[in-house]
Amino acid sequence: MTVPTVAQQHQQQRAAQAAATATAVRTVWNSIDPDNLEQSWLARVPLAAEIIRRGQMNAALTAETWLDAEVGPGEGQLIPEAAAAATGDLVLQMLYPLLVAWNRISRGMSVAVSILSGATFLEIATRSLVSDAGRIADMAGMVARPRVVSYVRVVELPACARCVLLAGREYSFSEGFLRHPQCDCTMAPKRPGDGWTPQLPEDIYAQMSPAEQRRAFGEAGVQAIDAGADIGQVVNARRGMTTVTRYRRTVQATSEGTTRRGLYASRRAKFAKAAGVRFGQQTGGRDRTTTPRLMPEEIYRLADDRDHAIRLLKKYGYIV
């Protein structure tokens, strides 16, 4: 028996939500004035931000319904707003596509091509933001359900080599969910006595078309795998995945240290105002928060046990 159908359906629903949100946001970006990029995009930032937040909320809301049906009620109620907020600074994501377009123009590319580059970046960022909000809600909801002892990675094609290699991996809640931009992977809860077995990398690889295999692993990689090489020897699953250091230790947190100095920061504040989002909290006379809000993955790593994890989830506003 493979991963439960309900988990696969949940994954497909989440991927469709991310794709639909990205398409809607790209439509907003495509309506900017080529002769006045900054001001025209600035005027559209509130709408784009609202579309992304709505997509994140919808993605997070599906977690509770899915887990209630498959596992049963948990200890506390998920807060979708907290899952969305944990994905990071939305204002920065609104600024980056404009910076990408300007960078292309400064390198001599046409305005049309530069706008297209900005659109591509914005679409990738949007898909990631929506998927991450959903995954954060999924994991918080599973931790709040004592019957769930671990989670299994669910991979849906098309997928990159890194995700294929991780297919079917079972993780404890102290281990964070590895993902990359545009990653559509989700997780399935595992309980004692569950008889289903996950799809392994070899199973996913066998389901891929030759074109998908070449795109994910490269021509030489496909030849090696077909010749009997282990997929794990062909792919470096952790390439490009980094962590952040805060307070002399490595943690995953949602806060970023920013100030108002410099062109980049001043433009960020400008976009924050347009989006209706505060630039920062006044703490000790500075526009920054002194204590980062821990990501759920970091909470699970630091927690002594499930009860401790639930207390921290409540403390940091992920469940009530």
Model confidence at 199, in pLDDT bands (50, 70, 90)? confident
Three-class SS state of 293: coil
Tell me the sheet residues that pair with 154. Answer: 186
Which run of H or E residues covers position 75?
Answer: none
Query: What domain count does the chain have?
Result: 1
pLDDT digits (tens, 9 = 90+) for 79-134: 888 898 888 878 878 889 999 999 999 999 999 999 999 999 999 999 989 999 99
Residue 320 lies in a domain: no
Q: What is the mean pLDDT of residues 52-75?
A: 89
Residue 255 lies in a domain: yes
pLDDT value of residue 92:
78
Asked if residue 151 lies in contact with residue 170, where contact means CB atoms within 8 angstroms, the answer is yes
- Listing DSSP states for 186-203 in one string gives EEEEE-TT----PPPHHH
Distances in whole angstroms, Cα of residue 209 to Cα of each of 4, 171, 204, 206, 318: 23, 28, 10, 8, 40
Whether the predicted pLDDT of 64 surpasses 70: yes
Whether the predicted pLDDT of 284 surpasses 70: no
Model confidence at 254, in pLDDT bands (50, 70, 90)? very low
Residue 243 lies in a domain: yes
Residue 161 lies in a domain: yes
Better-scored residue on pLDDT, 47 or 262: 47
Whether the predicted pLDDT of 286 surpasses 50: no
Residue 190 lies in a domain: yes
pTM above 0.75, yes or no: no
Distances in whole angstroms, Cα of residue 30 to Cα of each of 23, 34, 45, 106: 10, 9, 12, 20
Residue 233 lies in a domain: yes
The overall average pLDDT reported for the chain is 78
Residue 32 lies in a domain: yes
pLDDT value of residue 250:
56
Residue 200 lies in a domain: yes
Model confidence at 278, in pLDDT bands (50, 70, 90)? low
In terms of average pLDDT, the best of 8-22, 223-237, 242-256 is 8-22
Q: What is the mean pLDDT of residues 242-257?
A: 46
Percent of the chain with pLDDT over 90: 27
Q: What is the mean pLDDT of residues 150-162?
A: 83
Asked if residue 119 lies in contact with residue 98, where contact means CB atoms within 8 angstroms, the answer is no
Helices (H), the chain: 5-29, 37-70, 80-85, 90-106, 111-143, 161-166, 201-207, 210-226, 231-234, 262-275, 296-302, 306-315
pLDDT value of residue 302:
81
Which residues span the domain enclosing 42? 5-315
Model confidence at 228, in pLDDT bands (50, 70, 90)? confident
Lowest mean pLDDT segment, chosen from 74-78, 159-163, 188-192, 284-288: 284-288
Distances in whole angstroms, Cα of residue 35 to Cα of each of 39, 154, 241, 308: 10, 45, 37, 55
Count, residues in the chain:
320
pLDDT value of residue 116:
95
